[in-house]
Structure 1
Amino acid sequence: MAVVHHTTLRPTKPELLARWLPTRPWYRGGPAPEPTTVGGFRLDDPAGEVGIEFIVLTEESGPEPAVHLVPLTYRGAPLDGADDDAALVGTLEHGVLGKRWVYDGSHDPVLVSRLLALIEGRTEAQDQNTTGTPDRDVSREYSGTAAPLPGAADVLAPGTVTDDGEGTVVALGPDLALHLHRDPREPLPEGTIGHVEGSWRGADGSRERGVFATIRRGGAS
């Protein structure tokens, strides 16, 4: 079970993300973002080594208010083969755990495998801020075959992650792909065989709801 530490972070997550977000093709804000966390959830790493967090951000520096989904992993050592600008968000000093390497979770096989487990119903979402508390607001559905989706050892070979203006696609095989909805306000696409939904705090204080991730047939196209 992941332990949520309420401690100091230097830089803070919003500060770290403000430097990284403008480098992403799916980012829809301005050149000097001031992201605000308005929702999200966590997943447990069975090995207890990797922190896994899905953050929903609002950003108002662009021509229109933007909402972005940013899945992150936190590691105590660098992730092999993930040191480029797309994968590595940066490093921070954690008040309890020390130096942490922060990655875009779409490039981390632990996050991808645990997200697939969530979609299949083999694990459950955890509250973003409280240890050992399931997040019942996060829902999932899967209508695929009985065969399990790929595990961590079978995903994220070189070239399997693609970022573009629409979001992020992780190829799971020749005819299967995981899509991360960087703007969760977009509707559920046709051809979806599995998905995760969640909510976040809207500008007026009400709860808004949208799609965080989908699994679709047809590969990464």
Structure 2
Amino acid sequence: MTNLFLPLIADVTGDVNNPVNFTFFIGCMAMMAASAFFFLSLNQFDKKWRTSVLVSGLITFIAAVHYWYMRDAAMAGSLDNVTAFRYVDWILTVPLMCVEFYLILKVAGATKSLMWKMIILSIVMLVTGYFGESGIGPFDAQIWGLISGIAYALIALEIWVGGASKLAKAAGEDTAYAHKVLCWFVLVGWAIYPIGYMAGTDGWYNVLGLDGLDMNVWYNIADAINKIGFGLVVYSLAVKKTA
């Protein structure tokens, strides 16, 4: 792997019209704009909801910084660096997205054990996914992907039919609705990531014809939808609860 710490403005010569490079650029700008929006809106909310909106801003801000570096790395042809930066981004932001569930359900009695359960599952999901993409460890991409998929499924089960779902029903109509929308983001939006994983690794799923797709385009689209979308749902709930 080449030097992970690229200069903030790299000497790149890649084609900005390339779908990968273009989606990195759009993703970076979208995340920056979302971060500014969330941070600048903090003072309009009751104190108990500011943390939720702040976390939304942190998620998109962390992603924006990493997208800046990933864009430069992609245009310079350093795809190993792109993968490394992406998983550093995810290992920071995905657990924070799990924290959002805890924060909005805290009013209904959500405990930190629920939060840590989801955080640990998300870390397992990401670490095994990274091992699969990078060819690390004793297993091939199929096995690592299976382990990652199981962790993802457990998160989905927890929020759809587990303890988080029960808390959402007891938290009131607005919170229950926001929780359900976030659940759909996890079920549908997060499902884009396995498609990208299968497009970028070898396994039985090659028969699906996904190997002709560029996984970075899939990942970039999914990140923009999920991270900004998550934040907007939390923002909307905070507005309703503050009004």
Question: Is the TM-score greater than 0.5?
Answer: no
Higher share of residues assigned helix: 2
TM-score computed with the length of structure 1 as normaliser: 0.30
TM-score computed with the length of structure 2 as normaliser: 0.28
Higher share of residues assigned strand: 1
